[in-house]
Structure formats: C-alpha cells, structure tokens
Structure 1
Amino acid sequence: MEQVFNHVKCVQLDPLKAIRESHELVCLSRGVPLERAKSLLTADSPFQIFTYPGHAMAILPLDMWPWFAFMRRHLLAKGWRGPAVDADTVCSLRALLRERDVITVKDLPKGTGTGWNRSSQWRIAAEWLLWTGEVVSTTRNGTHREYALTGKAIPEALLRLEPSDNDCIDHLVAEVVEALGVATSDDIADYFRLRRDRVERALQAIDCPKGTVDGWIEPVWLSRRAESLARTKLDCVTPLSPFDSLVWYRPRLQRLFGKAYTLEAYKRADERAFGHYFMPILAGAEIVGRVAPRRNKHQVSIEAYEFDACLDLAVTERALHLLQAWSEAAVFESPTQHLLIAE
C-alpha cells in the first residue's frame, strides 16, 4: 500500500461503484491484495492517510498535509465556491468535536432538499472546516467520512510545518513530475488542480529537466527516474479505474494510448455510446480496450466491451477473471453481446 502512494501520491475518491470503489481499484491494479485494499480508509489500514481536495476529493499520504497549507490559507482568506457557511453552526460543530474523538454525518442533524442543500448547514460546516484545515478525515464509518479536530489526528511535527505558498506549489509540482515520469505542463497542472502559471514558475524553480516526445505538440518535463518508471511487465493484464491517475486526464490518455474514452455515467441511458461506467484494460504498456461493468447489489453484469483488433482472447479472459475476483459478486455475468472491435 505504501509503495502505491509513494508512486502515485494521490488517489481520487469517487462514489461510483461498478466493481469496487475507485480507490480500491487503484490499489488492486498495482498488486495490493484485496483485503488490504479494502482496509485503506478504516482504522485497520496499514498506511496513514487523510482525505482532502487534491485531485477532486482524494486520499493523500499523511506526510503531504503541510503542502496543502497554501489552499487552506486561500480558502480562509477568500472563501470557497461551495454554499454559504453559517457561523453559528460552525461554532456548534466545533463544540461537538471537542466532546468526541470523531463524528460522521450520521451524528449531525439531517437536512432537506437536494444536492448541497440536502447536506444541511451542519454538513456544510463540516466540509468547510475540513477544507480550511481545522478538521481532518483519516477514516470512514461505512461510506461516511469521520471528522476529527486536526490537532487530535495530525502529528505535531507536521502541524508545526507552515511552508510558504511557493514552497507548497514547488513541492507538489515535484511530486507530480515524479508520479507521472513524463508530463506536459497541463498534465502537471491537472494532477492537483493547480494554476498553469504557478506550475510553470515551479518547474523553473525546481530546475526540472525538459524534453520532447515524438507526436506531442507541447514540450515535456521529465522525472530524473523516468527511465526506471518506464519499465513494465509486458505480460501484465489489469483493469483500471476510470479515476486512476494514469487515465483520469483524458487528453493525456489520448496522447499516451490513443484512446478517446469518456465517462458517460451522468448522461441519460439513451445518450450513452458505450455504457454507464468504463474500465480501461492495460496490457503491458498499452491500453487495449475497455469494459463497462454494472453492479446491482450482489450481481455484476458487463454492459459492453471493446478491444483492439487481433488482440489475443486470452487477454480479455484474464481481464474479466480479475474483475470477477475483485468484485466478490455472487453472480458475475460475462458479456455475450455488444462486442466492439476497435480498428
């Protein structure tokens, strides 16, 4: 588990669950055993993390806490794009957190309405305190984040660190370059949703090596260990989450693998060209196709799948076998139709 985070730095959280939750799939695709992957956000996790808006809401190694100080300071000074925060509710929530070690949204008064409004002022206050750093979440109770006062959950040595905004950005950009190996400025900016001008300044400040890639318009920035990162097992076959850092930035997916995959979960069923959810299939150093699994409680079916022409059928069988094992579904229906062959 620790090795996964040492490499990717950031694992996006997402509520969609076709096989397993996305963060579990990221671990599974990198060889973490199923039971350990399932433990990631629990008190039994072997690795210390916190959840924060890294790339959207994400799981981050605990030692990255100080390097998001720039965002916390900005939010405290400028506010956020979320709904208005009620100051009295924030005070009440602080008092509740001082009384208890952790709370979840189940401990808060319920709201009404839809979307953010459904969250109620209590839930909005909890998220505001999380984003601004007064509260932190390191575990979950079921699917609900557990909130604790930061001083109770973050080690004192990390709390004492207060890097400047530029130091924060420099550190995060350096981490992204190491995670990606070879990346354009846009790739780097997308990883932690940083401003392009800040990324460009940081790349100069950290003296990052620069180069070109055949067929790419933009210049690229290189990890000093890019060559070792490029080594891969050519016989490896693994499905990926659509929110995996390898593919989450679709322009990079297109440049690296020549695949124009898009998530259609939020489209109406009759507007989808492929399926509700897609999982790219990585074989060696190439993405050779995708499958669209759909879960209904303890049953998983494959809505559609497509693979490159002339691909060995053994690759598809290995991919589907892994999906079945990871899903722990009582019923797993392999595809019998909707086979698409990419030219």
Structure 2
Amino acid sequence: MSRDDTGRWVPAAALRRLVLAQSGLLRWSRGQGRRGRHAEGAPWREQLRGEDGVHQAVRRLEAVQLDPVAIVERNHHLVLRNRVATYRPEHLEALYRRKLVFEYWANARCILPIEDYPLFQPIRERLRARRPEQEPVLEAAMRHVRERLAAEGPLPARRLESGDRVPGYWDLDAAKTKATSQALEHLWETGEVVVAYRPGDQRHFALAAEWLGQVEGVDSWEPLLHKYLRAYGVAHTGDLRFGWRSWPAAERKQAAERLVAQGTLTAVRVEGVRRTYYVLSELVPLMAALADATVAPDVYLLPPLDNVLWSRERVADLFGFHYTWEIYLPPAKRRSGPYTMPVLEGDRFIGRLDARLDRGQGVLRVQRLTFEPDVEPSPERRARVWSGVEALAEDLGATRVDGPMP
C-alpha cells in the first residue's frame, strides 16, 4: 500500500484486533520464538473475577453503558459478564456502596470509575447554565427532593414522589411526567444528586455533597477527551460523541490533529475506508504486533450497546459488519429481531442471535440464530456458538435453552 498525508496505512485486521484487545475480548499469539510484551494475550475473563474484577473491568473499559432493556438482560450486566468470570449483578451493586463507581453522561448514561468524577464538571456546568427557569411545580419538586434527601439520606425515586406532574422531559407538549422524576433528572445532570445504590437496578439517590463530599472538578474539556480516546482506543472525528461533548466537526478534527502533532495520537488509514482513524500512540506497538498474530476462535455474544459496538461506522469499516439495534423499529421492519446480539468469533462477527429470557419459566428462548452469508457454518463452529448460548443461559439463571441449534 501507499502512504499519504492523512495517516499511515494499516490492515483492517490490526485495527479491529486492537479494538477487541483493548476491550478484553481477544486471545492471540504471535507463535513460538516470538517474545516481548505483545507476543500473546488473553481475554480479561481469565484474569478478572468477582467484585474486584468488576471494578477493574469498569476502570479498563473507562465506561459501561447503562440501559434498562432486559429482554435478555440489561446491557451493563451483559458487558461485564463477558469480561469478568463468575460475574453477578450484586458485584456491581457492591461497588456503588463502596463509592468506587458513579453514573453520568459519557457515551450515554454510563457507569464510571469514581476517580473520574471531576472530569465531568464541564458537562455539569454546561447543563446548569443551559437550564431555563423552571415552572413553579418543578421548582417545588426540586426543593422537595433536596429536603427529603438531606433529612433521610439515600432514597429510591418512588419514595420521593410528590404527586405533581409536569411536561415530559422529551415531550414538552404533554403534562404526563412525575414532577419528582423530572426534578431528579435535572438535579442529577447538574451534579446536585448522585445515584448512591442500584439494588436490583433500582436507583437510590443521594445528595452529591453528602455522599461524595466536596469534590473539586476540572475546568477543562481536555481530560475528558483523553478519557474518551482511552475508552474507544480507535476513534474517528465523524463520531458525534467525539470527546463526549457536543462541538462542531471542524473543531473535533482540529483537536485530533493537535494531538497527532503532540504525539499523543497516530492517524491511520485502512484501504477502502474513507475515514481517517486515530489511535493512541502508546497503542501503536500493540497494533503492529496484532497484525500478524494468530487469533483464537473464542465466541462472545455481545449486547447491542457493548463498548465494541459503540461506533456502528467503526464496526462496518473494520469488521465489515453492518448492525442496527432494531428494538425501536416496528416489527414489520425488523430483519434480525428486537434484541439481536452480534456473535463474535475471534476477530470476526459471524452471526446474530435473537433471544429472550423467560424468567418465569427459567428458559432462554432462542427466536433466531443465523450465520452471516460469508461464514461457513461448520460443525465445529456451530458447536462453539451453541456452547456460548448455553453458557449465557447458565449465567442468567436459566435451566435450559429452548430453540433449534442452527
């Protein structure tokens, strides 16, 4: 390949393997006789276990996206299950009580390491400045929440209800939202309250000053940009979430070029891909080592909001895999299913699993399990994938899997 002024050319395999290795989902070896720091690597599940393993996984991933949809299981639990051996939701809950994690806007609503709380001060200040004067009912609800939390400590949202209703957070034309729910949203965004506990995925709120003490925030967007780059590993400035802030495309590009000039980032290109990607320069040796490594065909079933899938453009460019989460599409327009989980084997997406957990019956019901058109469904591959489905069912507490093996 040739080289141009926009970056060095690298194989797509090297970049996608880097994404997976940085996300804890890759096993590789460069063969006998190859030594050095990057000669081989293993998935995080072989290193991380239990509560402390969950803490390490959150720190390594930088952020874990929260989502309430539980057709199979909530996204954050599935993300951590793939990285931590013997993962259980109570392990994550313990981290909240130990004040080791918090929730805030990153890629979306995310679980984040508590040491990064100061980095999000620019977002909190921006939201505080943009908040218009509230209507009297909402202002009263905010006072009600502050007073209750100050007097009683952490409480679930249902215990804070005042009975009043206000226009919805997104639908301002309909007075249908609980005033205290709206109040909690504003107070959480601006940093007055935090999620203290999450037992059974039910949020318990506390006043931030009482739960965390006085925390001095940073006054620059730069640390948040670096956290974003660590979380993605391989990023492009076309991402509207670049740096986890809202800013013009030209400024995103300028920021990336500035970091390239400083040596923090390395610009790379992939043949046939129009986008320029940016890799943390400290990861370039690993990227180079992965280019000619042998990758084990380990199977992972990824939830729709897994960190690897955050950028659909990146997934298409580097993996040749086109994925849409169809849960919000009308049933008639769905092609794969409402909660389709991409099937990862080694460094390729080889199929799609549409399943549903029947909690009442203790059954993981497989609606559809298909292989990609260019994937040969050999008996060995079918067995690996089905073993992954059975392992998922066991981890979710299901006693059996109902559905045909492909």
The alignment's TM-score, normalised by the length of structure 2, stands at 0.73
In the other structure, the counterpart of 1:282 is 344
Aligned-partner Cα distance in 2 for 1:244–1:285: 15
Q: Specify every segment of 5 or more residues in structure 2 that has no aligned partner in the other structure, as ranges.
A: 1-53, 170-174
Number of equivalent positions: 329
CA contact (8 A) 1:281 1:287 kept: yes
- Seen in structure 2, the aligned counterparts of structure 1 residues 123 and 83 have a Cα distance that, compared at 3 Å, is farther
Aligned-partner Cα distance in 2 for 1:236–1:111: 52
Aligned-partner Cα distance in 1 for 2:150–2:294: 49
Alignment of 1:298-337 (within 5 A): 298-308=362-372, 309-311=375-377, 312-335=381-404
Deviates more, 1:313-322 or 1:128-137: 313-322
Match of 2:78 among 22, 25, 34: 25
Name the SS for the 1:222 alignment partner.
Answer: strand
Cα shift at 1:124? 0.6
CA contact (8 A) 1:173 1:199 kept: no
Instruction: Name the amino acid aligned to 1:130.
Output: W
Name the SS for the 2:198 alignment partner.
Answer: strand
In the other structure, the counterpart of 1:154 is 212
TM-superposition CA deviations, 1:59-102 (whole Å, max 9, x none) = 1111111111111111111128x999721221121111110220
Match of 2:322 among 244, 260, 263: 260
- Seen in structure 2, the aligned counterparts of structure 1 residues 323 and 227 have a Cα distance that, compared at 3 Å, is farther
CA contact (8 A) 1:2 1:47 kept: no
Q: Specify every segment of 5 or more residues in structure 1 that has no aligned partner in the other structure, as ranges.
A: none
Deviates more, 1:283-292 or 1:304-313: 304-313
Q: Indicate whether 1:12 and 2:37 are aligned.
A: no
Instruction: Name the amino acid aligned to 1:310.
Output: E
Instruction: Name the amino acid aligned to 1:290.
Output: R
Aligned-partner Cα distance in 1 for 2:285–2:301: 24
- Seen in structure 2, the aligned counterparts of structure 1 residues 74 and 47 have a Cα distance that, compared at 3 Å, is closer
CA RMSD of aligned residues (A): 2.8
TM-superposition CA deviations, 1:132-175 (whole Å, max 9, x none) = 0011113213332111111122254xx12x322xx22x222222
Aligned-partner Cα distance in 1 for 2:68–2:306: 14
Match of 1:86 among 125, 138, 151: 138
Instruction: Name the amino acid aligned to 2:323.
Output: Y
Deviates more, 1:127-136 or 1:193-202: 193-202
Aligned-partner Cα distance in 2 for 1:129–1:72: 10
Instruction: Name the amino acid aligned to 1:17.
Output: A
Match of 2:277 among 217, 220, 226: 220
Cα shift at 1:38? 4.1
Aligned-partner Cα distance in 2 for 1:197–1:154: 37
Aligned-partner Cα distance in 2 for 1:137–1:57: 12
Q: Indicate whether 1:39 and 2:108 are aligned.
A: no
Q: Percent identity?
A: 24
TM-superposition CA deviations, 1:273-321 (whole Å, max 9, x none) = 1112111111111111110011233332111121133132222222212
- Seen in structure 2, the aligned counterparts of structure 1 residues 304 and 5 have a Cα distance that, compared at 3 Å, is same
Match of 2:129 among 64, 77, 84: 77
CA contact (8 A) 1:49 1:138 kept: no
CA contact (8 A) 1:281 1:288 kept: yes
In the other structure, the counterpart of 1:270 is 332
**Bigger radius of gyration:** 2
Name the SS for the 1:287 alignment partner.
Answer: strand
In the other structure, the counterpart of 2:228 is 176
CA contact (8 A) 1:50 1:139 kept: no
- Seen in structure 2, the aligned counterparts of structure 1 residues 83 and 144 have a Cα distance that, compared at 3 Å, is farther
In the other structure, the counterpart of 2:307 is 245
Instruction: Name the amino acid aligned to 2:127.
Output: L
Cα shift at 1:243? 0.4
